[in-house]
Amino acid sequence: MSALATEHKAVNLGQGFPDYDMSDDLIERVNEAMKKGFNQYVPMQGYMPLREALSEKIRFLYNAVVNPATQITITPGGTYAIYTALTAVLQPGDEVIIFEPAYDSYIPNVEVNGAIPVLIDLKFPEYRIDWSEVRKKISPRTRMIMLNSPHNPTGSVLSAEDINELRSIVTGTNIFICSDEVYEHLIFDDIPHQSILKYADLLERSFVCFSFGKVYHCTGWKLGYCVSSAELMSEFRKIHQFNCFSCHTPSQVGLSTFLLSKDSYLSLSSFMQQKRDYFLQLMQNTKFGMLQSRGSYFICATYDRMSNEGDKDFAIRVTREYGVTTIPVSVFYRAETDNRVVRFCFAKKNETLEAAVEKLAKIK
């Protein structure tokens, strides 16, 4: 869709990347690190002061004690952290529960390890997990459950009840959890983020994956980290050591001091909520039916008042004829399930959102 957007010079609310500037302060810190000579490899686990700053942030936010030496590894992005976690534990024939719509790397990452994705639809239109369905799909071969909150593409978030259901399913089993929390902090309406880090019993069996790129508005940096138990992290590092080994040093040095200020992460949810609210307000001038977004960069919408086309056809036509690009949500399902929903990314400048909505309002 991004290629089509470029071809038609459309306003691109499809792909999930901000078009506004990231923090000048963080850029300064990274520049400073380069000038001071932090330009060589750091240890395989990541720059220690950054891991210490993360450990302190995790203690402050989730009241969890995470050892920076043994439980945190810096990675080249969240996607890599997820891939490495899966590769550390999966054996051919293992089953992995994946909720759809799903971020596009999960299924290929499972399959490249010879494991089998077991797909469960989130309940439309709230995109909630149906835990009775999960119970039915658990088998002796279930090795892992993939979670993602706040969720891409829908903006749904896990609740405390979801965590209780999860716990009742995995307790007493050998099932691992991979929790994709790359949109940590980008959660709205004062809802607490149900990080797996809050739950020591679940962290024992989990890999929790994060992205600096997503939360600090610099997706091109491709820097993230994984938190796990010391035992699982040692398996994770066996893959990481011979794959990436060491991540970009100056960014780690810059982030290590930037993160010491709590405002660097406490300010993020209100910043992004303002974007969501502004976009919602603008979209009242259109015939889209806005679904709920509680977090992430994204909000989904139905378009049945304007068209009965399939979502791909609709998204392509809107790019070509009206000059706005969205993502058809059927692409996040292996079976291309089409609920006639498209995804918008609202992590954009107000002018970009305004320009897009002015065009979208013309669709009759």
Question: Would you tell me which residues interact with ligand PMP (CB under 6 A)?
Answer: 16, 77-79, 103, 148, 152, 180, 182, 211, 213-214, 219, 222, 224
* Cα–Cα distance for residue pair 1/13, rounded to 1 Å: 10
Q: 117 in the Ramachandran plot: left (φ > 0), alpha (ψ -120 to 50) or beta? A: beta
> In angstroms, what is the minimal distance from the CB of 297 to ligand PMP?
8
Nearest residue (CB) to ligand PMP, 103 versus 199: 103
Nearest residue (CB) to ligand PMP, 219 versus 249: 219
Nearest residue (CB) to ligand PMP, 143 versus 214: 214
> In angstroms, what is the minimal distance from the CB of 304 to ligand PMP?
26
Contact 343, 326 (CB under 8 A): yes
Closest residue by Cα to residue 248 from 47, 6, 26, 32: 47
Contact 159, 189 (CB under 8 A): no
Contact 119, 98 (CB under 8 A): yes
> In angstroms, what is the minimal distance from the CB of 221 to ligand PMP?
8
Nearest residue (CB) to ligand PMP, 211 versus 330: 211
> In angstroms, what is the minimal distance from the CB of 148 to ligand PMP?
5
In the complex, which residue's CB is closest to ligand PMP? 77
Closest residue by Cα to residue 182 from 227, 213, 217: 213
Closest residue by Cα to residue 60 from 206, 223, 185: 185
Nearest residue (CB) to ligand PMP, 17 versus 361: 17
> In angstroms, what is the minimal distance from the CB of 210 to ligand PMP?
8
Nearest residue (CB) to ligand PMP, 73 versus 211: 211
Nearest residue (CB) to ligand PMP, 14 versus 323: 14
* Cα–Cα distance for residue pair 274/337, rounded to 1 Å: 31
> In angstroms, what is the minimal distance from the CB of 248 to ligand PMP?
12
> In angstroms, what is the minimal distance from the CB of 257 to ligand PMP?
21
> In angstroms, what is the minimal distance from the CB of 78 to ligand PMP?
3
Nearest residue (CB) to ligand PMP, 149 versus 286: 149
